[in-house]
Structure 1
Amino acid sequence: MIAAVDETTILAGLRAGDEGAFAQLVDQHAPSMLRVARGYVPSREIAEEVVQETWIALLKGIDNFEGRSSLRTWLFAVMINIAKARGLRERRDADAAIMAFTDGTVDPARFRTADDPYPGHWKQGEQPSPFPDTPEGSVLSNELVDVAGRELDRLPDRQRMVVTLRDMLGFDSGEVCNMLDISVANQRVLLHRGRAAVRQALEEYLEDRS
């Protein structure tokens, strides 16, 4: 992540056509951008094209950047807009797209309903069991990271994007809501359900080992 003290220097370099500044930005953000773009389009190849379009848009529009958000937030917002437009062109079956955005990986009956004071959260008695705080748990850490990564890849698109932006890339709730054009409440439910699905996968993995 670019430190706040460096962003002015990076920005000045980009505006001056400094290839080093551009290369630094690409090295720092391209993998994360690809991961998020992949949530909007049907293949990695198309996601790579989206990222390339974003870099072109950055270079063309950098002089119009007003600094009302961080450069990183602006970059991801541009990329998400491009990915959304490309995704709409690529997805022929609108119903399939809708299902991809709403389908659940955890039984919906385990969550509180919309009229509950805490909608989207676990019902009483439905929470996953906590992970054991033992030396064995530390030994399993690398395996658990792999399990979590695989489950994250299987999440419905919007859940995966919210979890990725919040927990892996460090964007705050407001930034995620603006980038994905969703409400605070929707963001909270998507984040909770995405985290819950990953946690359940880890729980089941540990149970299988016991």
Structure 2
Amino acid sequence: MRLSGTVEETFHQPDDVGFLDRLLRGEQQAYVDLVNRYQGAMRAVATAIVGRKHMDDVVQEAWLAIVRGLAGFQGRSSLKTWILTITANAAKCRYGQNRRDAVLDDLPASFGGAGEERFSTGGRWSGVPQPWHEDTPEALLREEQLRECLEQALRELSDAQSSVLLLRERQGLELEDIAQLLDISLTNTRVLLHRARLSVFAAVERYQSAGSM
């Protein structure tokens, strides 16, 4: 398994050096922070490549490789990039024969249509949906219900769509980095993200109009 990162990230954690020092000193809280910081992204990468069935095994194997390789981390990429590359390599090496490629067979040739104007060609929102800023108990309850609605919509996406969406929206990775990590084309990545966003946006609109899924 390769331990060196190959994906160039567009942003770096400013405390990578200090954080790495804490890890190398064996600070227990640093390892807790490491898991909290990157576990979600690792699970998303593993799920996109091998599916949910083997995701936990891949992440566990990746953590072992990460811990063993920390002393050899040379900082040529960010710590996050290095960790996600190890995770992707673990998935591809261990489950190469069972790999779930993020193909476009279930998608139409044209993925335009209603809602396309909400996203730019770079995969960003053309206009960010307006959040709620009320603090009343009723408003807070609605926010919790909306959060549940979003989580349900994510669970209903394909593994590839949900993983690309989480890596882009929650982890802030650029589309080029996601494509390289998952070993899929940039066009494929854009389509998966677009379809995932449309599905989630449709679920939110149904909730806001009817008050439920």
Same fold (TM over 0.5): yes
Answer whether contact 1:148 1:198 (CA < 8 A) is retained.
Answer: yes
Quick check: 1:196 aligned with 2:204? no
Q: Which deviates more, 162-171 or 58-67?
A: 58-67
1:117 aligns to what? none
Question: Cα gap change, 1:202/1:101 in structure 2, threshold over 3 Å: closer, same or farther?
Answer: farther
Quick check: 1:66 aligned with 2:68? no
Question: Cα gap change, 1:127/1:29 in structure 2, threshold over 3 Å: closer, same or farther?
Answer: closer
- What is the letter of the counterpart of residue 182 of structure 2? L
Answer whether contact 2:13 2:79 (CA < 8 A) is retained.
Answer: no
2:33 aligns to what? 24
Structure 1, residues 63-82: CA drift from partner, whole Å, max 9, x if none? 33232221011101111221
- What is the letter of the counterpart of residue 153 of structure 1? R
2:183 aligns to what? 181
Identity of aligned residues (%): 32
Structure 1, residues 152-195: CA drift from partner, whole Å, max 9, x if none? 12212221111010001111223212212233333222211110
Q: Kindly tell me the number of residue pairs found equivalent between the two proteins.
A: 187
Answer whether contact 1:102 1:156 (CA < 8 A) is retained.
Answer: no
Give the counterpart of 1:171 among 155, 170, 173.
173
**Alignment partner of 1:60: what SS?**
helix
Question: Cα gap change, 1:189/1:19 in structure 2, threshold over 3 Å: closer, same or farther?
Answer: same
Quick check: 1:81 aligned with 2:89? yes
Answer whether contact 2:52 2:159 (CA < 8 A) is retained.
Answer: no
- What is the letter of the counterpart of residue 61 of structure 1? G
Answer whether contact 2:47 2:160 (CA < 8 A) is retained.
Answer: no
Normalised TM-score (structure 2): 0.69
Query: Quick check: which one's helix share is greater?
Result: 1
Please give the alpha-carbon distance, in whole angstroms, between the structure 1 residues aligned to 2:162 and 2:175. Answer: 15
Please give the alpha-carbon distance, in whole angstroms, between the structure 2 residues aligned to 1:159 and 1:193. Answer: 7
Written as runs of structure 1 = structure 2, the 5 A alignment for 1:68-147 is: 68-89=76-97, 91=98, 97=100, 101-102=103-104, 104=106, 108=108, 113=110, 120=111, 122-123=112-113, 126-127=114-115, 140-147=142-149
Instruction: Quote the offset at 1:18 in angstroms.
Output: 4.2
Answer whether contact 1:33 1:76 (CA < 8 A) is retained.
Answer: yes
Please give the alpha-carbon distance, in whole angstroms, between the structure 1 residues aligned to 2:81 and 2:141. Answer: 36
Question: Cα gap change, 1:127/1:174 in structure 2, threshold over 3 Å: closer, same or farther?
Answer: closer
Please give the alpha-carbon distance, in whole angstroms, between the structure 2 residues aligned to 1:27 and 1:152. Answer: 20
Unaligned ranges ≥5, structure 2? 1-11, 119-128
Quick check: 1:37 aligned with 2:46? yes
Give the counterpart of 2:58 among 47, 50, 65.
50
Give the counterpart of 1:152 among 151, 154, 157.
154
Answer whether contact 1:34 1:47 (CA < 8 A) is retained.
Answer: yes
Normalised TM-score (structure 1): 0.70
